[in-house]
Structure 1
Amino acid sequence: MSTIRIGFIGCGNIAHSHVLRLSRVEGVEIVALADPGERGRRLLKQKFGLDRAAEYDDHAEMLNGGDVDAVIICSPHTLHARHAEEALAAGKHVLIEKPMTCSSEEAKHLIATAERAGKVLQVSFQRHFLPPFLYIRSAIADGVIGKLASVTATLYQNWKQSQEGTWRQMPELSGGGMLMDSGSHIIDVLLWTTGLTPQQLSVQLECHGAPVEVDTLTAFRFAEGGIGSMNIIGLAPLGKLKETYAFIGEAGGIFYDNGRVTLTLNGQEPIEPELPESVTDPDRSFVDAILGKHEVLVPGEYALKVVAFTEAIYAAAGYVVEPAGRPDAAGRGVR
C-alpha cells in the first residue's frame, strides 16, 4: 500500500487536530470528508488546503465509494458504534475518537467486528503517547514508588457553560455528560497507568440544571488492593482545564499537575524526573499499525475498560441517561 487514503466521518473541532497530525505523516492522503453540515467540511478544507478531498453529506456514500482505505471517526458519541461498524463492514481500518462507544456491549461488538474483518481498530486516547503519562505508567510498572496504596485523579473544566447548547449536552448524541466526554480521558489514564481494577464504588453526581450530568465524585477500592478517588468537575470558573493526579505508593509518590510531573520518594526531596521522548501520536501510530510496522498501540480493549467503568459510575449513582430523541442517520436528533 503506497499511499493510505483516509476519509473522515465528522468534521468538527477534533477533526482539525487529526488533520494537523496527519499532515506530518508521509504516505497519507486525506481524500474524503463526510459530515451532514457543509460548514464543517468547508472549514476543514480551507484551513488545511484539502482541495482534492471529496465531500459527502452521507458517510455511507463515502464508504461505498471505494476510494478510502481508512476512516477517522469524529462524530458525536452515540454515533460512534454504528459509524465504526459500517466502516469495518466496508473493509476500512478505523481510528475512533473517545469514547469508543457509549456501552460495553457496543464496545465488545466492535472489537469482535474488527477482528473478523482483519482491520485495525484504534482509539484516539492521546495521553498514551504523551511523555508525562508514559513515564508514570513505566515508573509504576517498575515499582519506583512501590505497591500503590492510593490514587486520586481530578479534572476541572468550564464544561457546563462552554458546551451549553451543543451536541455534547444532548443525551441522544452525547450518551452522557462530562464523565462520558472529557472524563473518559481521566478514566483512561487511571486504568492504563496503574493496570488496576476499580470496584466498590461510591458516587455523588450533580447536573446543575443541565440535561446531562456535569459533576461526579467517585470513591472506590481496587480489586488488587489500595483505594482511589476521581473527581470530574464541569462547573468550574476556569479558562483552561486543570488536570491533576497523585499516585501514592509504599515507597513514595508521583504527582502530575497540568503537564508537570514530580517524584517524591520516602525521606527524599521532590524531583522532576527525566521524561521519555514522544515518538508517535494517535494518527501516526494508526498509520504505522495499518502498515504493519507495530501492533495497535491503543486497541479497543482499553476503551472497553473505560466504557465499563463509566457505566459502573452511572449505575452506582442510580443515573440513567434519558435521550430526548434518537439520532437519525445524519446525527440529527429526532424528537
Structure 2
Amino acid sequence: MSSKLRLGVIGAGLKAAEYAQSWAAMPEITFVALADVTEASRQRLVDIVTATGAPAPRCFTDYREMLSACRDEMDAIYISTPHAFHAEQATAVAEAGLDIFLEKPMVTTVAEAETLIAAQKKSGVLIVTAFQGGLSPLVLDTCKRAEAGEFGELIAIAGTIWESWASNYAGHWKQQPAISGGGFMFDTGAHMMNTVCMLANSDFDRVSAYMNNRGTAVDIVTAVSARLKNGALATLTAAGEGPPGCASHLTFFYSKAIVRIDAWGGWREISLEGKPGTREEAEILGNPMKNFLAIRAGLLENSGSVEMGLRFARLWDAIKQSAASDGQSVFIDAA
C-alpha cells in the first residue's frame, strides 16, 4: 500500500475546491482521479492540484467510469455532490471496496441509510461523514464527559440555528427539492440535528414538527418538539430567513450541569453544579481530512459513522412525516 492516501473525488464543486486548497499541499495526500459533470469544475480542481507541483488527476464525467478505470489506483473517495446523490454514489464506492469521506448529510432517508450500511458491512470499508461538529474536539470531549456521567442525567435539549439562507441560496441546487433532499433544516440545520444526535446519545422516540416554505419549493423555517428514548425532551428551531449571518445555540440541560455549545463545535460553556461556566473556543475545522486520516489510522473514534447517520436519518424522516401531516406526532421505531 502507498504511504500516501490515494484519493479520488466525486463532485468537484465549490466545497471540494475549498478543501483541495489545503489537501493538495498535504504530503499525506495524492489526488488520483476526479469525476464531475461540469468541465469548469473539473478544470478548477485540476488547477488547484497542479499548482502545488503535483501531477494532474485523471478526469471523468461519470463517477462509475472513474471507479471502473481507477479502482486499483485509489484508497479512498471524497464525495461532495448534491445531497440526493450521496446514497447511490457512496453505496457504489463501498461496493468497490474503497473508504469514503462523505459530505454531510450522509443520506436523505432511512431506506438509503440502511442500504449504505448493508454495503459497508459487506465490504468492511470505512465511511466517515464530514460534519464539522461531529469532528470537533469540543463536541467529542462533551460526548465523553456526558457518557462518563459527569453531567448527570440528560433532562432536556433546546436547539436553535439560523441563517440568511433563503436569500443566500436563491436559485441554488440547495433549493431544488429533487436533488437537495430538503431545505434549510436539512442543509444548515443538519449540523444542529447531527450534534444533538451525538450529544443526546439516544435515538428519538416521538417527533412533532411544522415547516414553512415561505414561498419557496423547500422548507425555510422548521419547528420540532420531540421526546427521546432516554426520556429527555427536545425542541429544535431552524430559521432560514432573516438578516445576514449564520449562528446556532444548543443547550443541554442535565441534572448536574447545563452545557451550551455551537452546532459546529466552535464554542462551549459548561455550568456545573450551579457554578457559571466560561466560554471555551475552538477553531471550526477547516481541514477535516486530518481527522479522516486519524480515524483511518485508528487514532480517533469514528464519530461520523454510518450508525450515527442512521440515527440522523430516522429523525429527519420523522420530521418530514410529521410536518406533512400538520404536526401529527410520529413514533420512531429504531428496533
TM-score (norm 2): 0.86
- The aligned residue for residue 57 of structure 1 is 61
Match of 1:305 among 311, 314, 321: 311
Which letter maps to 2:219?
E
TM-aligned CA deviation for residue 97 of structure 1: 1.0
What is the distance in 1 between the residues matched to 2:187 and 2:210? 18
Q: 1:270 to 1:291 in 2, by over 3 A?
A: closer
Match of 2:203 among 197, 200, 205: 197
Confirm or deny that 1:74 pairs with 2:75.
no
Q: 1:236 to 1:135 in 2, by over 3 A?
A: farther
Which letter maps to 2:68?
N
- The aligned residue for residue 246 of structure 1 is 251
> 1:129·1:278 contact (CA, 8 Å) conserved in 2?
no
Deviation readout 1:265-324 (Å, 9 max, x if unpaired): 344233346x7999996423433444556664421111111111001011111169xxxx
Aligned to 1:137, what secondary structure does the other structure show?
A: helix
Aligned to 1:65, what secondary structure does the other structure show?
A: helix
> 2:20·2:48 contact (CA, 8 Å) conserved in 1?
no
- The aligned residue for residue 255 of structure 1 is 260
Which letter maps to 2:28?
G
> 2:105·2:190 contact (CA, 8 Å) conserved in 1?
yes
Confirm or deny that 1:85 pairs with 2:85.
no
> 1:131·1:277 contact (CA, 8 Å) conserved in 2?
no
After TM superposition, the structure 1 stretch with the greater mean CA deviation from structure 2, 215-224 or 40-49, is 40-49
Deviation readout 1:47-105 (Å, 9 max, x if unpaired): 34265112211112211112322211101111111111222223322111111111111
Which letter maps to 1:304?
L
TM-aligned CA deviation for residue 159 of structure 1: 1.0
What is the distance in 1 between the residues matched to 2:273 and 2:238? 29
Q: 1:130 to 1:20 in 2, by over 3 A?
A: farther
What is the distance in 2 between the residues matched to 1:10 and 1:287? 20
Q: What are the residue-to-residue correspondences of 1:266-277 with 2, within 5 Å?
A: 266-272=273-279
Which letter maps to 1:28?
I
- The aligned residue for residue 114 of structure 1 is 120
Q: What are the residue-to-residue correspondences of 1:1-335 with 2, within 5 Å?
A: 1-2=1-2, 3-23=4-24, 25-48=26-49, 49=51, 51-66=55-70, 67-238=73-244, 240-256=245-261, 259-272=266-279, 282-291=288-297, 296-318=302-324
> 1:207·1:213 contact (CA, 8 Å) conserved in 2?
yes
Aligned to 2:160, what secondary structure does the other structure show?
A: strand
After TM superposition, the structure 1 stretch with the greater mean CA deviation from structure 2, 81-90 or 294-303, is 294-303
TM-aligned CA deviation for residue 38 of structure 1: 1.2
> 1:263·1:270 contact (CA, 8 Å) conserved in 2?
yes
Deviation readout 1:224-280 (Å, 9 max, x if unpaired): 122111111111212x3111111111223111258332222344233346x799999
> 1:21·1:284 contact (CA, 8 Å) conserved in 2?
no
> Aligned residues: percent identity?
26
What is the distance in 2 between the residues matched to 1:255 and 1:176? 27
What is the distance in 2 between the residues matched to 1:296 and 1:222? 23
Aligned positions, number: 318
What is the distance in 1 between the residues matched to 2:164 and 2:246? 7
> 1:111·1:121 contact (CA, 8 Å) conserved in 2?
no
After TM superposition, the structure 1 stretch with the greater mean CA deviation from structure 2, 278-287 or 141-150, is 278-287
> 2:75·2:98 contact (CA, 8 Å) conserved in 1?
yes
Q: 1:252 to 1:13 in 2, by over 3 A?
A: same
Which letter maps to 1:256?
I
- The aligned residue for residue 325 of structure 1 is none
Deviation readout 1:131-172 (Å, 9 max, x if unpaired): 321232233223333212111111101111111111111111
Question: Gaps (5+ residues) in structure 1?
Answer: 321-335
Q: 1:45 to 1:131 in 2, by over 3 A?
A: same
CA RMSD of aligned residues (A): 2.6
After TM superposition, the structure 1 stretch with the greater mean CA deviation from structure 2, 294-303 or 37-46, is 294-303
Which letter maps to 2:61?
D
Which letter maps to 1:254?
V
> 1:154·1:244 contact (CA, 8 Å) conserved in 2?
yes
> 2:267·2:282 contact (CA, 8 Å) conserved in 1?
no
What is the distance in 2 between the residues matched to 1:15 and 1:304? 24
What is the distance in 2 between the residues matched to 1:150 and 1:254? 11
Aligned to 2:104, what secondary structure does the other structure show?
A: coil
